[in-house]
Every structure is written in structure tokens, then in C-alpha cells.
Homo-oligomer: A and B are copies of this chain.
């Protein structure tokens, strides 16, 4: 039946199958299983780094599952996999659902995986019910969203959007101590596709992404669905502090240029700045040299991830950091960090900006489709009006890049205690299914809307 012919009741009656969805999630988690945290069979985390052997197996599953559902699949030069189910008007770009199958090294079973499997579940519901859409519908698995192995998050949707040059992404070298590049690993696992990774070659009419919130707000507020209106701004910095390697036993505190003591003050200071400015600052990587118990470290390099709702807050943080860190290195007392410390010799500091993502606003048509889909999906629950929450995403997602090139929005579901990037990351099966239901309904409503209006929302505003 064509979506056009369905009334609201019929449309809402199309339902995802919770059991089948959860089976798909856990089935795919056999590849790259991580740390065990509970006694249950599915109570383990995930460690499925992008383009690893485990990732290859998950990809193979995705291709087979979508082709078995009547999709045509295409792999582009970044290994992004596009599975498209034909509609009536196949001369027009598909309405896409997308997310990623790669995980953090100590990740969980939902971040990314839920979004892709919910897309496959959508295809199954459409097939089961012989639903005919006006426009083709697609599911995309983006490569290396996490940036955990190849250190640039959302690298492949970034290339698709034209924001990251293909060559830079291909040449990304895996993190220490590996030596492979993204291109060499794409080749190795057989996912270096022949079509260009480009929004021009593989256009999208829209991109919807279902994701766990990865924060505690929905759970704390007792909400079921987050209607995501945008993504916060962020910058990634690398800070290098240079002091002098000296012997710990023979160098009095005054005669030291202790790069780690200095870095510790900077990390504490960045946290204080984040507190004062109502935003986030985090250090997730720290390496020091030479690394010996009885040698004061002469060199420390650490990452700094700054995030805020507004671009202006991120800029202000960057200003504070570039002003204050050299002062801290020189020994100046910034915000009282030096109280009760012995003044030592100065260190030097260098600050590099590796990555910047301005604040993103999602598309009103997509947000509107999600809002009415959520209203339909939640209708049967008690207190259904109070189960949705409009929010801004704290994390970057592939939707940030797609939003530069097509109407985009996201759907969030709660995860336990807001924990993510952790083996214990957990989303209740009923919440996974509810999110998938909103996703399915969003795509159907968007398709109907496109059909009614016979327009594709213009590409013009989508410039970088």
C-alpha cells in the first residue's frame, strides 16, 4: 500500500518488532564483543574499531540483510554503505536513516548500532506490510564515526559532505601503536568502494538518525523521546607542555621544569574554566615522556575537548586557554593553582586546534516529522504528552555533516545513568523499540510530506 493512501490510523499501525530489533542488535554484537560487566549473555560491552575484522563482519551482515530486503547497496570511497529500497519516484534522492556500526575501544552495544539496526528494522516493517513509498528509502552505515581508531570523528560523513578532503581522510593513520591508514584498511577488508564519497554522487533528500542520548537528561526528567533540534559546538585541541627530564631524587623542587605538574594544573584549570563558563572541557588522552618512575617528565601531550551550546562560548574558552596556559607554564599563579606549591623553572606550551565543529541547527521539516512521529508512537502510553523533550545533542554525530547537505534531524532515547562510551552502556529494549518506532514513523511522514508538496527542500542553504 502506498503511504499516500494511508490515513493517520493506518500509518500509526505500522509497528516495529521489538524482539526482532533486539535480536538484530545482539546478533551483530557477536563481532567485536568487549568487556563483560554482568552475568547475562548480552551484558558485555563492545570493542569494534572502525575497519577492523569485526567491523568487516558487521558490514557484511548489513549488506546481506538489506539486500535480502530488496535493497540495492553501494559502497563509496570512504566505505560508507548506502542501502536503498526503491519507491515510486526513483529519479529523486532517497529519504535516509543512518548511523554507524563502529564503536569505541571500550564502548557499548547501542551507540551507533541502535541507529543502523533500527534502519534495518524499518526496512523489515516496510517489506512485511508491502508498503510502497513515493520516494526511495535508504539506510546508511557511516565509516569511522567514533574517530577512535582513525583520529577524526565522523570522518566519512565529513568527506561525503565535502567538509573533509578525501585524501586527508584516506591518509589518517590509526592511533598509537598501529601504523595502518584508513585507505589501507578499507582495501584490506574489501570496503574501498568505487563510487565517490560525495553528496553530489549520492544525494540525500533527508537524514534521520536514532541514537541513545549518551547523557542523563532524559532519564532524570523521566522522558522517553528526545527531539533533537541541533548539536552543540566543539573544538578539539592538542596541548604540548615542554619542561626538562631530570632525576626525581636529586633535583630539588625549585630546579624542576616538571611538564606533568604543569599539565595537571592546566587540566584542573580547564575544568574550572568550563565550570565558570557553563560548558564542558575534557581531557581523554595524555602521553608523557620519557616515562620512568625516577625521571621528572620533560614532555607531556594531552587532548582537550571543549563543548558548548554556543559558538561564542567555545571561542571564549579557547581565548582563556590560549591566554592562561602559557601563564601557567611560565609559573604565573592563575586562579590560585599555585597555593602551597614550590615555584619551579618555567615550561613552554604549544596549543594546536585539530578539529572544530560549529553549533548545528537541524531542519524544521525533519524536526516536525519527528515531533508528529513521536506523538503517534507515544499515544498509547500513559501521560504520553509529557514523554518528549526538545534538546541539543552534546555529542557530534554523522547528522552534523549531513545537515550541511540535506534536511536532517535526530531522535534520542534514554540510556541508563547517561553512561556511554563504556561497556555498561544500556538502553532498555522497550526504549530501543520506541525510538525505532519514532524513526520509522518520521521517515514515512517525511515521505508523505515530500509527496504532498512535490518539493525537495532546496540545497542552496546547505553550504559549508
Number of residues from A at the complex interface, CB < 8 A: 78
Interface 9-mer from A6-14, A54-62, A292-300, A365-373: A292-300
Residues of A within 8 A of B (CB): 104-106, 146-148, 151, 153, 175, 177, 213-216, 232, 234, 236, 244-253, 255, 258, 260-261, 263-265, 267-268, 271-272, 274-276, 280, 282-286, 288-298, 303, 305, 307, 335-337, 339-342, 393-396, 417-422
The contact of A293 among B232, B236, B267, by CB within 8 Å, is B236
The copy count of this chain in the complex is 2
Given contacts A285-B292, A295-B104, A303-B293, is CB(A340)–CB(B267) below 8 Å? Answer: no
For the complex, give the distance between the alpha carbons of A258 and B282 in Å.
9
For the complex, give the distance between the alpha carbons of A67 and B260 in Å.
46
List, sorted by A's number, 14 A–B pairs whose CB atoms are closer than 8 Å: A105-B290, A106-B290, A153-B293, A245-B421, A248-B282, A260-B284, A260-B286, A272-B341, A274-B342, A283-B297, A284-B291, A295-B421, A335-B339, A335-B340
Residues of B within 8 A of A275 (CB): 253, 340-342
B272/A293 in contact, CB under 8 A: no
The chain B residue with its CB closest to the CB of A215 is: B250
For the complex, give the distance between the alpha carbons of A19 and B181 in Å.
51
For the complex, give the distance between the alpha carbons of A250 and B291 in Å.
32
A289/B335 in contact, CB under 8 A: no
The chain B residue with its CB closest to the CB of A357 is: B249
The contact of A296 among B175, B232, B282, by CB within 8 Å, is B282
A148/B292 in contact, CB under 8 A: yes
Given contacts A264-B268, A294-B305, is CB(A250)–CB(B282) below 8 Å? Answer: no
Name 19 extra pairs, CB < 8 A, besides A104-B292, A293-B303: A153-B294, A214-B250, A214-B251, A215-B247, A215-B252, A216-B255, A236-B293, A247-B421, A249-B280, A249-B393, A253-B274, A258-B282, A260-B267, A268-B337, A271-B342, A274-B342, A284-B292, A285-B291, A290-B421
A285/B289 in contact, CB under 8 A: no
Residues of B within 8 A of A298 (CB): 106, 422
